[in-house]
Chain A
C-alpha cells in the first residue's frame, strides 16, 4: 500500500469511528445498528481487559439481538434510567490500523483491526461522570463500505465500582 493509500485508509477508518460516535451521541440508534454486521459482538469486559466472556462476568456482552434490545430500551421512553436520557459526548482518538492477523478474531470475516481510545463525558441530573477506555474494532468490507464485526471497550476502571452505564460506549 502506498503512502497516499495508507492516508486514505486511515481517514476512511477514522470517519467511520467518528460517525459511530456521532450516532451514539445523537441517539440515532437505528443508524448505529446499521453499522453492524448481523453476527456482530459488542463487548465491555469487567475486572480486567482479557477475561473470558463465556466464563466470567462482563459489563456488556451483546450479540446483535441484545444490542437491538438495548437500544430499543434506550429509545422506548419507558426506562426509568432514561428519564431524562443521559447526555454524552464521545471523543475518539489514537486511531491506529492493525493488520487483521494482529489480534485473535472472534468470528466472521475481518478486513481491518482498529485500535483507538475513547473519552466519554456523561451528564444526567445531579451526576457528571467521565469514562475512558481503549477500544478495539474489527471491521469488514461489505459492498464497498466498512461494517463493524466486533467492538471491545476496555474501560480504564473496569475493575472498580462503577456507576450506571445506560448509554453506548
Chain B
C-alpha cells in the first residue's frame, strides 16, 4: 500500500472522486504520514481557548498534529504557544496537563524558562563560554499562533494563509457560539474528557455533519426522546451547508425545533474542531487507525445558570468514554476501521444529495459537507506549490 504516498500527486486525484473516496484513505499508513505533513503540520489547527489560561502563569499542554505544545499566559497577560521541548536536549519542559507556574524547569539539566519562554537560569552557565547567549536558547515558539474570539489556533508553517483566510465563512460558527453569551464570550474551564478510539481521525470529521446516522447509531441513548418527531429527516427542513475550506455545518435555526438540540451552532472547522451546540470537540489523530476525541462543555459568560445547566447536564450524560452517545459513535467508527480492511469494494460512497453541490447547501441528511471536506483535503494533498 505504501506506493500511495510515493507514487506522485495524481494518486490522490484518483482516490478522491466527486461522490466517493477510496477506503485506502482510512487505512494506509503512508496516507496518514502525508496528512500529518500536508495538513496537520502545515495548516491552522485549533489548539485551545484563551479562557483555559485565563490567569497569568496558567498553562495547558496539548498536541498540535502529533507534536507536543505548551499554551501559556505569561506574567504580563500575553497568551503564547511553545514547542513543549527543551531547546537543550529535547525533554518536555512540562509534564502536566494543566496548572499555573512562573517557571518551567527541564528535568534533565535544570534549564529553567519563565512563562514568557525566556531561558532565565541554567547550572554552570560559565562552562558554556563567553559567547553563550541565553537569548538564543529560549523555548521555541510554534511558528504561527493566532486567535479568533478567544479560540487559539496554531500552525507549524512559517507561511501560508492567515487564520482569518483559513476560517473563511466558518468564522460565523465561532461568532454564533460566542454570541449565545450576552457579552459575546465563552469559557472552557470544566476540563476535557479524552476518549481514545481505534479509528481513523477522518471518520470523526465526516461524522460531524452526518445527520443521517443519529436515529440509528444513537437510537439507544434515551436522548432521542428530547428531539422533535421527524427531526432527522429531509422533510423537517434542516439544512446542511458546505462552508468551503473543508468546513461545514448543519443548520436548523429556521425550523420549528431549531433550538432544541442546544444553544450554539453545529459545525466543523477543518481539520480538527467540532462546535456541537453547547460543547467543543477536538479530533486528535494518533496513527492511521487511532484517534483521541477530546470533549468539553461550553460555559457562556454572563448567561444565567438555569440556561446553562440543561446543556451541561446533557454533556455529562452524552459524552466522553462513558457517555450514552459517544461510545456508539466510537463503536461505529471502529467497525468502519475493521470493515475497510477489506479492499473490495474500493469505494466509500458519499453520493446523498450530490445534485445540490452547485449551491453548496442541501437537506440536513445530505452528504454535502463530507464532499466539501474531501475536495479541500484533495487540494491540500495534491498541492504542488506546497511541496518543500
Residues of chain A at the chain B interface (Cβ within 8 Å): 44, 46-47, 51, 55-61, 66, 69-70, 72-73, 76, 78-83, 126-127, 159-166
A126 and B337 alpha carbons, distance in the complex (Å): 12
Residues 84-118 of B, flagged 1 when their CB comes within 8 A of A and 0 if not, give 00000000000001000000000000000000000
With both beta carbons as reference points, the residue of chain B lying nearest to A74 in the complex is identified as B220
Chain A residues with CB below 8 A from B32, complex form: none
Taking CB atoms, residues of chain B closer than 8 Å to A57 are 190-193, 295-297, 315-316, 320
Q: How far is the CB of B349 from chain A (nearest CB, A)?
A: 20
Name which of A78, A80, A126 has the most chain B CB atoms within 10 A of its CB.
A80
Interface pair B316/A165, CB less than 8 Å apart:
no
The docked-state distance in angstroms from the alpha carbon of A122 to that of B331 is: 15
Q: Which residues in chain B, 156-197, are within 8 Å of chain A measured between CB atoms?
A: 190-197
Q: Does A59 lie within 8 Å of B322, measured CB to CB? A: yes
A69 touches B328 (CB 8 A): no
Report the Cα distance A151→B222, complex, angstroms: 23
Q: Taking beta carbons and an 8 Å cutoff, which residues of B are in contact with A?
A: 97, 190-198, 217, 219-222, 292, 295-297, 315-317, 320-322, 324, 326-328, 330-332, 335, 338
Interchain CB contact under 8 A, B193 and A59: yes
- Do A164 and B316 form a contact, CB below 8 Å, given A51-B191, A57-B296? no
Q: A57, A72, A82, A162 — which one has the most chain B CB atoms within 10 A of its CB?
A: A57
Cβ contact of B327, chosen from A56, A160, A166, cutoff 8 A: A166
Known: A76-B220, A80-B217. A160 touches B324 (CB 8 A): no
Are A79 and B320 neighbours in the complex by a CB distance under 8 Å? no
A80 engages B324 (CB within 8 Å): no
With A159-B97, A164-B321, A164-B331: A56-B194 Cβ-Cβ less than 8 Å: no
Residues of the B chain whose Cβ atoms lie less than 8 Å from the Cβ of A44: 322
How far apart are B332's CB and chain A's nearest CB, in angstroms?
5
Residues of B within 8 A of A161 (CB): 194-196, 292
